[in-house]
Amino acid sequence: MRLHQPVGIWLLLWPCWWSIALASHGKPSVLLLFLFAVGAVAMRSAGCIINDIADREFDKQVERTRHRPLASGALSLTQALWLLAGLLGVAALVAVVLGMNVLMWAVFSLPLVVSYPFMKRISWWPQLFLGFTFNWGALLGWVAAHGHVELPAVLLYAGGIFWTLGYDTIYAHQDKKDDARAGIKSSALRLGAQTKRMVGVFYLLSVLLWALAGWLNGSNMLFFAFLVLCELHFGWQLCTVDLDNPASCRRIFVSNVVLGWIFFAGTLLARF
């Protein structure tokens, strides 16, 4: 479940909260924010279990992951499946409470959740598929607040995909030597020396798509001012990260939680 590493929960939660705040014109329901937080904890934990089940043999070959419960043998496959069922049950209950429209859109995300762990076997771009999966909450949050998906939600989702592609490419540089030896594909290995330049492009696309979402939603200049801060944060990431230093890659990856807070502040002030 990796509850001791909550950064993944935040990165899954932020698109949900951004979407709810924008759709609510800066006045999100506290109950909606809470329910999505519970759902994010459950689904991120479930995603970790699905990923660890699929990758348990690969994880044994990577220094950073060889001590995970399934890879190390501390947890059996049967125990993992029971825990997974319980977490999916909690997530389903939250979706039911949020309404049938949200439940329907949540079900649409399940193929992404299940297929993501296998993408590193067939594609150099598993980080892109993670973006499709991790940012689905941008659509769910809008549905929860408005009852249906609108264009600003789609643009918010698209921007989030590029955001995830950027930060997870940096994250993947931690394991590039082990991944290459184990035959695992990643955008870090695919981009190599071009990583910083391309991540800069991904981050720029994120900001542009988020800006367009805000503009179509009638956001004010405060929203765009916070987007400028987001772009500055992205610039700091690229200027300071050492892609050959796993600790540096980890630090920059974690800093995206702060990026989430900055953008969330902008969505709350979008109609101030």
* pLDDT for residue 67: 65
DSSP state of 17: H
Biggest CA–CA distance in the chain, Å, is 53
And the tokens for 239?
């200027």
DSSP for 67-87 reads TSHHHHTSS-HHHHHHHHHHH
Q: Could you give the count of Cα atoms lying within 13 Å of 207 in the half-sphere of its Cβ?
A: 20
Per CATH, the homologous superfamily of domain 7-268 is UbiA prenyltransferase (1.10.357.140)
And the tokens for 93?
């209950």
Statement: residue 188 has pLDDT above 70: yes
* Beta carbons within 10 angstroms of residue 154's beta carbon: 16
Amino acid letter for position 119? M
Q: What is the pLDDT of residues 63-107, one digit of tens each?
A: 666 666 666 666 677 777 888 889 889 999 999 999 999 999 999
Average pLDDT, the chain: 90
Domain boundaries, the chain: 7-268
Least confident of 4-13, 74-83, 183-192: 74-83
* Beta carbons within 10 angstroms of residue 81's beta carbon: 12
Predicted TM-score of the model (pTM): 0.92
Q: What is the pLDDT of residues 212-221, one digit of tens each?
A: 999 999 999 9
